[in-house]
Amino acid sequence: MSDNDMRNNKHIQDNLHEKALNYHSLPFPGKISVVPSKPCEQQDELSLAYTPGVAEPVREIARNPELAYEYTSKGNLVAVITDGTAVLGLGNVGALAGKPVMEGKGVLFKKFAGIDVFDLEVTADTQESFIETVVNIAPTFGGINLEDIAAPHCFEVEKELKARLDIPVFHDDQHGTAIIIAAGLSNALEIQGKSLDDIKIVCIGAGSAGIASMRLLVALGVKKHQINLIDRKGVVHTGRNDLNSYKGEFATETNDRTLADAMQAADVLIGVSGSNLVMPEMIASMAEKPIVFALSNPDPEIAPDVARAVRDDLIMATGRSDYPNQVNNVLGFPFIFRGALDVRASTINTAMEVAAVKALAELTKLPVPDEVLQAYDMDSLTFGSDYIIPKPFDPRLISTIPPAVAQAAIDSGVARSAYRPYKY
């Protein structure tokens, strides 16, 4: 990088720093607030909102707890909860430092699916105390969105909470990422003339996103022997004695030991790890018509222009909005929770995740409305190598994903009511 490029980059970073801090602090601190949803301007309204009128729904809920969904905001309220151990790419910065991210998640829930959020930043000395805290506050909410919790204990936290709670518990860093990856990959494979049951997959990153993505692909038909999982020490293989149980799920019998070994003749590369880990020669060694999902942010595992310089037959996705095919979790979690809440689901299960994958994939193949083109300043957008996943501002997401998820909840027996789309 030249001195001029370095100066320009520093200027951009300094400008972003100032803009971001101003955005979060002005005209008042933070990004979310709580506002009343019923009038309280006159004496009789005050009497209904609080005492003595509030005693009536209290009695009804005490008699039948399910009526909390009728008389309170529980059914449209999600807790976004973190312990601050894996905040974005910043690591274990602590619960309080994660609050801007949790507030941001609340903005997206409300903006895209009309769901209200309380963000909760929990300081917990142990995994058990975090779990107990969430269990104890769970009656307030219709769903729990876990966020920015480090692997491997994120797996145990979610598993335990799912077992103990009767509302959806969803770790978005796991399942949200997995769903969008699976939807995009399904379409990319179709375009490249390949199928899930006969491809070789390399996944760089054996944390929450990597493990969950591979689990979902297995649920969709991939066999574990088709997967080479890569962690900091190289290929996850059966000869290693340093694997936790989660990595061990994907340990394969192979002579591959390095990322370069694994990349030979691979059809698919999924990167959910760190920047600039993939060299051009690795991309060159892949099979014909490869698919590369380099999702590390802000810098991908390999830059699109570098990858395309060695392979003009690839399909590429990143986590960035300034390249085609952005894999963005906002395509998933608001709409998945919307569907789950609208049938009062007791959980979000694999059937609901698969329904979201299929709905996202099929939506991409439909004609793109003008309002999407205008939002992204584009003249046209059609299903193909540069459009394998919907755009986040596609207004059809809210009418496509929630009904599919809700129907899957009903079909799999975890819904507690008929589908009633929330009016907001």
Active centre residues (catalytic): 50, 105
Q: What is the largest CA-CA distance in the chain?
A: 77
Helix/strand/coil (H/E/C) assignment for every residue in 162-195: HHHCCCCEEEHHHHHHHHHHHHHHHHHHHHHCCC
DSSP 290: -
Give the strand order in the sheet containing 169-171.
116-121, 77-82, 143-146, 169-171
Q: Could you write out the DSSP letters of every residue in 347-406?
A: ---HHHHHHHHHHHHHHHTSPPPHHHHHHTT-S---SBTTBSS--TT-TTHHHHHHHHHH
Helix (H) or strand (E) holding 292: strand 291-294
Helix (H) or strand (E) holding 294: strand 291-294
In 3D space, the residue among 365, 352, 362, 366 whose CA is nearest the CA of residue 402 turns out to be 352
- Rounded-to-integer distance, Cα 294 and Cα 317, Å: 6
Radius of gyration of the chain from its Cα atoms, rounded to whole angstroms: 23
Rounded to the nearest angstrom, the gap between the alpha carbon of residue 241 and the centroid of all alpha carbons in its chain is: 31
Contacts of 191 (CB under 8 A, 6+ apart): 315, 383, 384, 385, 388
Q: Using alpha carbons, list the distances in angstroms from residue 245 to 48, 172, 248.
A: 54, 21, 5
Residue pair 335/113 in contact by the 8 Å Cβ criterion:
yes
Q: Using alpha carbons, list the distances in angstroms from residue 163 to 18, 115, 135, 137, 166.
A: 44, 24, 11, 16, 8
Q: In degrees to the nearest 10, what's the CA dihedral of 111, 117, 118, 122?
A: -90
- Rounded-to-integer distance, Cα 112 and Cα 335, Å: 8
